[in-house]
């Protein structure tokens, strides 16, 4: 069993193509909706899916989904796709500020985020295509941008209370052409994982290069769960 965890502004439907490909290989996929108002609630929603699996599953976490994945128990292996791997007490804002101080340039996500009066941030679809889906086909990029939805405006302040890195094997995929999460930040996160891979992709390789993601999952899957 594979559990796919989406990132901020995204939803399970973004995994539809990858899910179809995996199903054809005989790998079942569950993609819980993480549209919850707090990190504990998101972790609880994902943990419920993990606990429903007959055996410890493999987890694929994209972007902010990594913050959820890092707090789960009963998982055999986590694949982090350009995702956040934070320590307790550390926030995404902390990481962004350090990167701004090191590089002298603004956080790239500021170019796409539009704060709203409702306590949520919204993403400009046209900017999102360039930031999240730069190496996707125009058709896939446009479809993915149309699926984006508002996100809580305080997620940058969320921090895990526990992490599973000492007991859960993990693979980090650094996306070298990422325009959403700086590659230098990804290097720091990758150092916290067991294995590191570098792909010449932008932020969403499960959309732009599903072949790479599928091959990686199939390589790890026998170690992460039983074949059906």
**For 181-219, how does the pLDDT look when each residue is reduced to its tens digit (9 = 90+)?**
998 899 999 999 999 999 999 999 999 999 999 999 999
pLDDT at 227 over 70: no
Whole-prediction pTM:
0.94
Q: Which residues contact 1 (CB under 8 A, 6 or more apart)?
A: 27, 28, 29, 30, 53, 54, 55, 57, 58, 225
pLDDT at 223 over 60: no
CATH class of segment(s) 2-224? alpha beta
List, in sequence order, the alpha helices (H) in the chain: 16-24, 39-52, 65-69, 92-103, 125-132, 138-147, 183-190, 205-208, 210-224
CB 2 within 8 A of CB 58: yes
Hey, where are the domains in the chain?
2-224
- A 10 A CB-CB count for 56 gives 18
**For 101-142, how does the pLDDT look when each residue is reduced to its tens digit (9 = 90+)?**
888 888 888 778 888 888 999 998 889 999 999 999 999 999
């Amino acid at each position: 069993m594979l559990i796919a965890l989406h990132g901020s502004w995204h939803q399970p439907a973004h995994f539809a193509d990858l899910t179809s490909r995996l199903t054809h290989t005989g790998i079942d996929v569950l993609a819980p909706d993480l549209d919850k108002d707090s990190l504990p609630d998101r972790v609880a929603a994902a943990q419920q899916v993990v606990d429903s699996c007959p055996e410890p599953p493999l987890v694929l976490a994209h972007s902010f989904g990594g913050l959820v994945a890092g707090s789960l128990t009963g998982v055999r292996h986590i694949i982090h796709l350009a995702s956040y791997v934070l320590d307790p007490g550390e926030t995404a804002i902390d990481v962004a500020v350090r990167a701004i101080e090191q590089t002298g340039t603004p956080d790239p996500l500021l170019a796409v985020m539009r704060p709203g009066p409702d306590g949520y941030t919204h993403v400009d679809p046209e900017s999102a295509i360039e930031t999240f889906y730069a190496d996707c086909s125009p058709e896939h990029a446009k479809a993915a941008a149309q699926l984006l939805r508002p996100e809580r405006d305080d997620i940058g302040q969320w921090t895990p209370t526990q992490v599973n890195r000492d007991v859960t094997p993990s693979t980090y995929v650094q996306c070298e052409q990422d325009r959403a999460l700086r590659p230098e930040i990804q290097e720091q996160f990758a150092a916290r994982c067991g294995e590191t891979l570098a792909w010449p992709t932008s932020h969403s390789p499960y959309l732009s290069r599903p072949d790479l993601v599928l091959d990686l999952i199939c390589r790890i899957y026998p170690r992460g769960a039983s074949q059906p």
